A and B are shown apart, each in its own frame.
Chain A
Amino acid sequence: QSALTQPPSVSGSPGQSVTISCTGTSSDIGFYNRVSWYQQTPGTAPKLLIVEVTNRPSGVPDRFSASKSGNTASLTISGLQTEDEADYYCSSYTTSSSLVFGGGTRLTVL
């Protein structure tokens, strides 16, 4: 199962919005709504931001939103804050009964 495709890096200034894409296939993102997004800072475990395409777990700021269209999922972070600087990963369940992650996107807040 190939990894989902994410841009290696994105950047933005405080207060701006950025969107991170996650491209899969009709066997994963395009087939299931089991798409999640995670935030990871160095040396720590990933933190769940979004589950089942659009749902934010309790405690996740509403600055984080997500969507899906066809085989591509997207995470948008609005009102960028310096603390948002981290690596972001998407994941999707697949028709092979496994979970696949994206390659990760490094967000730099300029």
Chain B
Amino acid sequence: QVQLQESGPGLVKPSETLSLTCTVSASSINTPYHWGWIRQPPGKRLEWLGIIYHSGSASYNPSLRGRVSMSIDSSKNQFSLKLTSVTAADTAVYYCAGETDYDSFGYIHWGQGTLVTVAS
């Protein structure tokens, strides 16, 4: 059973950088499938942030206007998210996720989610 676990600060100040890491268990991160980040502001819909492949190749949501970047560390079986210049609008539960098959974009593996609050 593949397990994902998000970790990182639960509180980030406005204009600073949000950094989260997802640790993958019971599966190698070196698969042809991509790994993704999805967030959900309180009471709102899901928003796809982007994906990263084991090669390090990434694709991001254009609406984030270059504020997002992702990386992968195969030696630790982890992948990470950075979101710069955060505002209160970035307050959300952040999920890391894994898909069912190569570029199916159906996410069957999910972390439990971590709430990140942007506030001073």
Contact = CB atoms under 8 A, between A and B. Distances in A.
A50 B108 CA distance: 10
Contact of A51 (B48, B61, B108): B108
Interface stretch (B8-16, B25-33, B79-87, B99-107): B99-107
Contacts of A1: 61-63
A3 interface: yes
B106 A36 contact: yes
Contacts of A46: 46, 95, 107, 110
A50 B104 CA distance: 11
B108 A48 contact: yes
Interface in A76-110: 89, 91, 93, 96-104
B59 interface: yes
Interface string B43-62: 00111100000000001111
Contact of A36 (B45, B59, B105): B105
B48 A100 contact: yes
Contacts of A47: 110
A61 interface: no
Given A36-B107, A45-B111, A98 B59 contact: yes
A34 B105 contact: yes
Contact of B106 (A45, A48, A98, A100): A48
23 contacts: A1-B63, A34-B103, A34-B105, A36-B107, A45-B110, A45-B113, A47-B110, A48-B108, A51-B100, A51-B101, A51-B108, A52-B104, A57-B100, A91-B48, A91-B105, A98-B59, A98-B61, A99-B36, A99-B61, A99-B105, A101-B45, A102-B45, A103-B45
